[in-house]
């Protein structure tokens, strides 16, 4: 193991690693020396990612599951803690899995509200609780939560989704206050518009999305968020940047 990399000797869990931001985070943390445990529902995509990580010598464990299911998340933590190549430890948890939903309170598809809440809020809360309990016992580590700029500046165009990200931001800050004295850092990364699988899953199209963001100019690639996460994790352990917003330069709002 090359011990000269910033995250050498550390093991990171990344949820939502089969696409977009989570995928880029997993690759980046591996590049920085971490052993990575990658989680999502789509196994074949995780297998492709694992090949990309292990090709150049990175250590990776695939655990497929639903980020809205507490028992699947418990399995994720148990598998990580019994993974020999990862040192049977967890140092970093990136709670990234989530989904969007086009439309405001009037126009969004109410049939999707419950599933969105289960994944974005309840699943994330369960992961934060379990990861927090583990890292407190270990007396150190990092939890990075992927929120959204619409979790700070609500928008009428994605009102229900935005409210879930307000909840995620509140959970992360409450957790930070609860466990910071135990040496655990909690950070919320709030991306602006990132081109990923997100837009298709959310049901965005030219009409309900494209037109309103046309003036933003060049949008972000997932790597911009992964670089932000890597930077947070590279800071000395007594420095906690607890919130960071990363937008395309031309995105004025939200
Ligand atoms: N893209 C943006 O503009 C943007 C802006 C702000 C915040 N965000 C946030 O960034 C995070 C990542 O999104 P992204 O842009 O990278 O979108 P993406 O490309 O669609 O990736 C979403 C990831 O989350 C996973 N996921 C979704 N629901 C899941 C479930 N129930 N169980 C397990 N995994 C689940 C997906 O994996 P499977 O489908 O394989 O399960 C996938 O790996 C989300 O929390 C999103 O809200 C995105």
Question: Does ligand 1 lie within 6 Å of residue 66's CB atom?
Answer: yes
Cross-strand bridge partners of residue 13:
37, 93
Q: Which of 98, 123, 125, 251 is the best mutation target for the ligand 1 pocket, counting ligand atoms within 8 Å of the beta carbon and taking the most?
A: 98
DSSP state of 207: I
How confident is the model at residue 2, as a pLDDT? Answer: 66
How confident is the model at residue 212, as a pLDDT? Answer: 87
Cβ–Cβ under 8 Å, residues 98 and 145: no
Question: Does ligand 1 lie within 6 Å of residue 76's CB atom?
Answer: no
Ligand 1 atom 42: the closest Cα is on which residue? 16
How confident is the model at residue 189, as a pLDDT? Answer: 99
Domain 11-245: CATH architecture, name and number where available: 3-Layer(aba) Sandwich (3.40)
Question: Does ligand 1 lie within 6 Å of residue 209's CB atom?
Answer: no
Question: Does ligand 1 lie within 6 Å of residue 50's CB atom?
Answer: no
Ligand 1 geometric centre to CA of 102 (Å): 14
| Domain residue limits, the chain | 11-245
Instruction: Examine the residue annotation and report whether 253 is marked as an active-site residue of this protein.
Output: no
Ligand 1 geometric centre to CA of 3 (Å): 31
Which one from 161, 198, 204, 209 is the annotated catalytic residue? Answer: 161
How confident is the model at residue 3, as a pLDDT? Answer: 78
DSSP secondary structure of 40-80: ES-HHHHHHHHHHHHTTT--EEEEE--TT-HHHHHHHHHHH
Regions of the chain where pLDDT drops below 50: none
């Amino acid at each position: 193991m090359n011990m000269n990399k910033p995250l050498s000797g550390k093991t990171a869990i990344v949820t939502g690693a089969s696409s977009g931001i989570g995928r880029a985070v997993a690759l980046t943390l591996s590049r920085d020396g971490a052993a990575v445990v990658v989680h999502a529902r789509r196994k074949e995509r995780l297998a492709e990612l694992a090949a990309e990580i292990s090709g150049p010598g990175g250590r990776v464990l695939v655990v497929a599951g639903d980020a809205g299911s507490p028992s699947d998340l418990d399995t994720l933590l148990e598998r990580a803690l019994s993974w020999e190549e990862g040192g049977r430890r967890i140092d970093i948890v990136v709670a990234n899995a989530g989904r969007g939903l086009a439309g405001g309170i009037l126009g969004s598809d109410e049939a999707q509200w419950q599933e969105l809440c289960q994944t974005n809020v309840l699943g994330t809360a369960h992961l934060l609780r379990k990861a927090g309990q583990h890292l407190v016992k270990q007396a150190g580590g990092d939890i990075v939560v992927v929120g959204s700029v619409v979790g700070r500046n609500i928008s009428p165009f994605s009102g229900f989704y935005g409210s879930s990200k307000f909840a995620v931001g509140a959970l992360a800050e409450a957790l930070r206050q609860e466990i910071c004295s135990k040496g655990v850092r909690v950070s919320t990364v709030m991306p602006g518009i990132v081109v990923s699988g997100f837009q298709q899953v959310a049901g965005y199209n030219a009409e309900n999305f494209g037109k309103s963001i046309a003036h933003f100019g060049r949008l972000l690639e997932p790597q911009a968020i992964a670089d932000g996460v890597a930077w947070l994790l590279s800071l000395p352990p007594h420095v906690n940047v607890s919130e960071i917003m990363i937008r395309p330069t031309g995105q004025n709002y939200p």
